Amino acid sequence: MKKYTSIIAASSVSLLFSACDKPSTTANEQKDTSQQDSRSEVADTSEQDKLIADQASRIRELEEKQRQFQEARIKELEAKERELLDQIAEQKRLDELAAAEAAEAPPVKAVEIEEDPVVPPVVVDGGAPVVEEFPEYFPDQEEYFPEYQPPLAEQIDYNAYVAYDWYQEDVARERAYAEEEARCEANSRAIFLTILRARLAYERHSRIDHAHRHGDWHRRQAQLEREWRAAREREREIAALRDRYRRLHASRERARLERERKLREARQRQGWQQLEEARRRQAVSNQSEVQQRWLREKKLREERARAYRARSGKNTASNDRGRDSRGSSDRDRDQAGRDGRDRRADSGRSSEAERIREDLEKRRKELERLVAERKEREAATERGRDANSRDRGDRNDRGDRKPGSKDMTKDDARGKYSEALRARQEEQKKAEAAKRARELAEREKASRERSEAERRKEAMERGRRERTDRKPDTKPETKESAKEAERRKFIEDLRAKQEERKKAEEAKRAREQAERNKATEERARREKEETARRHQPAKPRGNEDMDKRRKDQERAKEASERAARERREKEMNERAKEAKERAERAAREKAVQERAARERAEKERRAKEMAEKAKAARERAEREKAARERAEREKAARERAIREKAERERAEQARRRANEERERQERAREQQERQKRAAEEASRKRAAEESKQREDRERETKERRRKGR
């Protein structure tokens, strides 16, 4: 049944994605953005939120219109199907009445009519015959309508397509498949109906009684026979349509498997949620580019929708409510991305691998820029430190003064000592930072290992619980097929590769962190040696103020170190607490996802069982229907044979009675002829006797006369 007759669903999907592409600022995203660029903290998003709300309301309206249109279309098609079935039932009823009237009519003299030659059914590529014996023109349900029907384009989970851009091509292909299959089905049904009507017309005309056949009966009979033969010639076309239908189903199944594979691989890829979050943060940080790209893609989607309507022959007016009230201009399409390339041509056709490659290239360039900026800042800091050191050295060397010379003033000694103290403090800060980084890396590694161990332990516990909770009366699992074994092996290999890749990445990160820590320690050691070599503070003798100041500085240093240590401990505790909360939250989310997956699997299993039961019930009903029809046909054949036998017996009795009557009449006629011959013979004998007596009398008379003379 054709359910794909509108572009409204594609328009709603496009609007949905346009709403998803619009920049949306939340508290967390503003917080992340504020760490990168403080200028984006004052972004006003009220206009964007209003536009998104308008788009959502339009999407709901379009979806309601599409649902109403689909319901009306389904009702119309169901009414047509019911009308066709009623026509076929009425034709069958009329044929049964005609057959009953023909059976009740008085017997007539049979006329030998040459039967049609038996035409064997057409066999395509050694398969099953195209058309079976009448009236079973329609093929089996399982052969023509497979059990699996791919989901409609409106039933696909488009929320999973937000991070991937291949949804438009997928929707168009799905709709094209559905329309082509519906077209094949309608054509094949029309051909079947034509053959059926031609056969019924021919047989109904053949049942006309001889007494009611007029002069043009033979001409009409020949015409109906030619029409029926011409209709049966289209059985090859039915075979071609069925083959195309089967190939379309296979292609549609491959497309479904490819879509599921893409979704599965995209969701199995490490960090796809983070990529999506980074994409949204980028949209917030660069609102002008996102706005222009959104307008260009919206215009391109509208052009595609108009082109699709023109191809489909539906020259309907475009929905102006779904457009942006601000419109767009030529200036929008002239603005390209940051790298100067124009992405309008392949925005809908670029593959997922190319998009991921471009995202990785952008991230790599951004990382290189950040690293270069950090190196430049470090170099500037290093240059400033060297310049300060050179200035101090020039001041110390002015007049060839040495640290131990008598003309060295108190201010110079105090400055050199404070500079050395600052250098020591910086070295200690760097060493503490390196130590803190090492501790943080070790803690993260330990927390990851601990969470992984807890996850494995939880999985083992869940498996043990499922094994113990399994009911003893459950049916044993059936042996998996080669396809399932291959799929399971592929999944296991993929998981093993992902684990190996994850371990390699963790080892690489640990190596890089160790190298960075080692380089930091080496740089701190070199700076310390250089500072110690350049600045050798002179210890003034007998200077109590200097000793007092030094003690005060040491006490202040100890206090600052103690405060820094307390602050570090507090930060470490907070980080550990946050890591623990994150781990607990992740564990809860994972448990929820696993529970949802189990429920989904149970629901799918139940749906599959219900489908199997429905299929078994349908097959049983079809078998019972076929048995009933076969019994009815056998009963009709028996009754027809009985009627024919009775007619033959009646004809034989009539023929026997006619023969007996004819024999009786012949016997009576022979008896009459015999009696007539006997009467004639008796009359001849009497006449002879009379003539003899007369002659005797005459002779006696003559004798008497002669004697008397």
Amino acid at the residue 623: R
If one counts the domains in the chain, the total is 2
Residue carrying structure tokens 């396809």: 483
171 shares a domain with 117: yes
At residue 155, the pLDDT reads 54
236 shares a domain with 149: yes
44-84 pLDDT, tens digit each: 677 777 877 887 888 888 888 888 888 888 888 888 888 88
Alpha-carbon span 508 to 506, nearest angstrom = 5
pTM of this structure: 0.22
**C-alpha count within 13 angstroms, C-beta hemisphere, residue 83:** 6
Residue 423 has pLDDT above 70, yes or no: yes
CA angle 357–362–364, rounded 5-degree value:
90
300 shares a domain with 383: no
62 burial (CB, 10 Å; 0-12 / 13-18 / 19+) is buried
Burial 307-334 (b: 16+ CB within 10 A, else e): eebeeeeeeeeeeeebeeeeeeeeebee
Q: Which residue has the higher pLDDT, 447 or 129?
A: 447
Q: What is the mean pLDDT of the chain?
A: 73
Q: Which residue has the higher pLDDT, 700 or 182?
A: 700
What is the helix (H) or strand (E) element at residue 362, kind and residue range? helix 352-397
At residue 431, the pLDDT reads 82
Residue 511 has pLDDT above 60, yes or no: yes
Per the domain annotation, does 90 fall within a domain? yes
Cis check for the bond before 135: say yes or no (omega within 30 of 0).
yes
Q: 386, 402, 418: which is the final residue of a domain?
A: 402
Per the domain annotation, does 456 fall within a domain? no
Q: 402, 435, 467: which is the final residue of a domain?
A: 402
Residue 649 has pLDDT above 90, yes or no: yes
What the block records as the tokens of 302 is 């509208």
Under a CB-based contact definition with an 8 Å cutoff, are residues 352 and 164 in contact? yes
Per the domain annotation, does 647 fall within a domain? no
166 shares a domain with 42: yes
Write out the residue range of the structural domain in which residue 394 sits.
Answer: 352-402
Q: Which residue has the higher pLDDT, 373 or 265?
A: 373
Residue 8 has pLDDT above 90, yes or no: no
Residue 129 has φ and ψ, to the nearest 5°, of: -65, 150
160-208 pLDDT, tens digit each: 444 455 666 776 777 788 888 888 888 888 888 888 888 888 988 888 8
- Mean pLDDT, range 572-588, rounded to an integer: 86
Binning pLDDT at 50, 70 and 90, where does residue 332 land?
Answer: very low
- Mean pLDDT, range 621-627, rounded to an integer: 92
Per the domain annotation, does 523 fall within a domain? no
306 shares a domain with 363: no
Winning range, highest mean pLDDT, from 236-250, 429-443, 611-625: 611-625
Q: 402, 437, 471: which is the final residue of a domain?
A: 402
- Mean pLDDT, range 466-486, rounded to an integer: 63
Closest CA to 530 of 382, 691, 328: 382
Residue 452 has pLDDT above 90, yes or no: no
309-327 pLDDT, tens digit each: 787 654 444 444 444 444 4
378 shares a domain with 252: no
59 shares a domain with 104: yes
360 shares a domain with 318: no
**C-alpha count within 13 angstroms, C-beta hemisphere, residue 623:** 6
DSSP string of 300-342? HHHHHHHHHHHHHT--PPP-GGGS-TT---HHHHH---TTS--
| HEC string for 517-579 | HHHHHHHHHHHHHHHHHHCCCCCCCCCHHHHHHHHHHHHHHHHHHHHHHHHHHHHHHHHHHHH
Binning pLDDT at 50, 70 and 90, where does residue 13 land?
Answer: very low
At residue 313, the pLDDT reads 59
651-691 pLDDT, tens digit each: 999 999 999 999 999 999 999 999 999 999 999 999 999 99
Q: Which residue has the higher pLDDT, 131 or 293?
A: 293
- Mean pLDDT, range 450-461, rounded to an integer: 79
Alpha-carbon span 477 to 485, nearest angstrom = 14
376 shares a domain with 305: no
Residue 351 has φ and ψ, to the nearest 5°, of: -80, 170
CA angle 172–178–181, rounded 5-degree value:
140
Q: Which of 86-95, 263-272, 473-482 has the lowest mean pLDDT?
A: 473-482
Per the domain annotation, does 516 fall within a domain? no
What the block records as the tokens of 548 is 């007092």
Per the domain annotation, does 530 fall within a domain? no
Q: What is the DSSP letter of 478?
A: P
Cα of 388 vs its chain's centroid, Å: 69
Per the domain annotation, does 663 fall within a domain? no
Binning pLDDT at 50, 70 and 90, where does residue 4 land?
Answer: very low
Binning pLDDT at 50, 70 and 90, where does residue 595 land?
Answer: confident
Closest CA to 269 of 50, 41, 53, 495: 495
Q: Which residue has the higher pLDDT, 417 or 20?
A: 417
Q: Which residue has the higher pLDDT, 173 or 508?
A: 508
SS3 129: strand
Q: What sign does the dihedral 386-388-389-393 (CA atoms) show?
A: positive
358 shares a domain with 321: no
143 shares a domain with 69: yes
At residue 630, the pLDDT reads 92
Residue 123 pairs in a beta bridge with 129
513 burial (CB, 10 Å; 0-12 / 13-18 / 19+) is middle
Cα–Cα separations (whole angstroms), residue 491 to 352, 363, 614: 21, 30, 32
Burial 68-91 (b: 16+ CB within 10 A, else e): eebeebeeeeeeeeeeeeeeeeee
Under a CB-based contact definition with an 8 Å cutoff, are residues 157 and 170 in contact? no
Percent of the chain with pLDDT over 70: 66
383-400 pLDDT, tens digit each: 776 666 555 555 554 444
Q: Which residue has the higher pLDDT, 355 or 591?
A: 591
Per the domain annotation, does 254 fall within a domain? yes
359 shares a domain with 283: no
Percent of the chain with pLDDT over 90: 11
- Mean pLDDT, range 637-654, rounded to an integer: 92
